[in-house]
Amino acid sequence: MNVPRGVAVACYVAWLAMWADISIPNILSGIVAVAVVLWVSSALPTSTIRHRLHPVALARLFGHFVRLLVLSNWTLVKTTLHPTPTALRSAIIAAPLTQRSPLVSTIVANFISLTPGTLTLDVRLDEPDEPMLYLHVLGFTDVEAARADVAQIERWVLAAVTPRALADIADGPHRATVEGATP
């Protein structure tokens, strides 16, 4: 188990903070829980793709998430109170992704699933042509509009968490930029 001590300590402090009571059983169970979680997580396959984090773009991503969360909740409330055939129309669509990064695709999939009215069903990074995200959309009107929304979310995520290969290109002599990314 090759985990930095800081991660283990942060997990342990979080465990104790969640219980809000420092007692012998909580201290001992915290040690066991942290050891199990770190052991299980170290056994998971890791990506060979490294990422560069952009704090300003990450804050913007969070802002976009909150905005879409509020808007989608409002739309869902309106649909619940006044259902119409258009608002209740749903579809399952395949939306292409531009990156094969497991981290980027996970963030995109969770971003979509955490906003009401949409649900990620599957992520296929091993597709021969391009990675694909399959999702269920409530209030479906247009497949291209839904794909454009997914592409926009992926651009926001890529601006916040750039795979190292893209980040290296952006830092190279020709200075290609990833939309919204800051060096």
Same domain (yes/no): 55, 35: no
Q: Does residue 177 fall inside a structural domain?
A: no
Same domain (yes/no): 37, 58: no
Q: What is the pLDDT of residues 52-63, one digit of tens each?
A: 888 999 999 999
Same domain (yes/no): 31, 9: yes
Same domain (yes/no): 100, 32: no
Q: Does residue 28 fall inside a structural domain?
A: yes
Provide the pLDDT confidence category of residue 152 given band limits of 50, 70 and 90: very high
DSSP string, 104-155: HHHHHHHHHHTSTTEEEEEEETT-SSS-EEEEEEET---HHHHHHHHHHHHH
Same domain (yes/no): 10, 77: no
Same domain (yes/no): 33, 78: no
Of 18, 149, 178, 168, residue with least CA distance to 72: 149
DSSP string, 4-45: -HHHHHHHHHHHHHHHT---HHHHHHHHHHHHHHHHHHHHS-
Provide the pLDDT confidence category of residue 47 given band limits of 50, 70 and 90: low
**pTM value surpassing 0.75:** no
- Domain hosting residue 33, numbered range: 5-43
Same domain (yes/no): 93, 163: yes
Q: Does residue 124 fall inside a structural domain?
A: yes
Provide the pLDDT confidence category of residue 122 given band limits of 50, 70 and 90: very high
Same domain (yes/no): 38, 63: no
Domain count along the chain? 2
Average pLDDT on 23-29 reads 90
State residue 100's pLDDT score.
Answer: 87
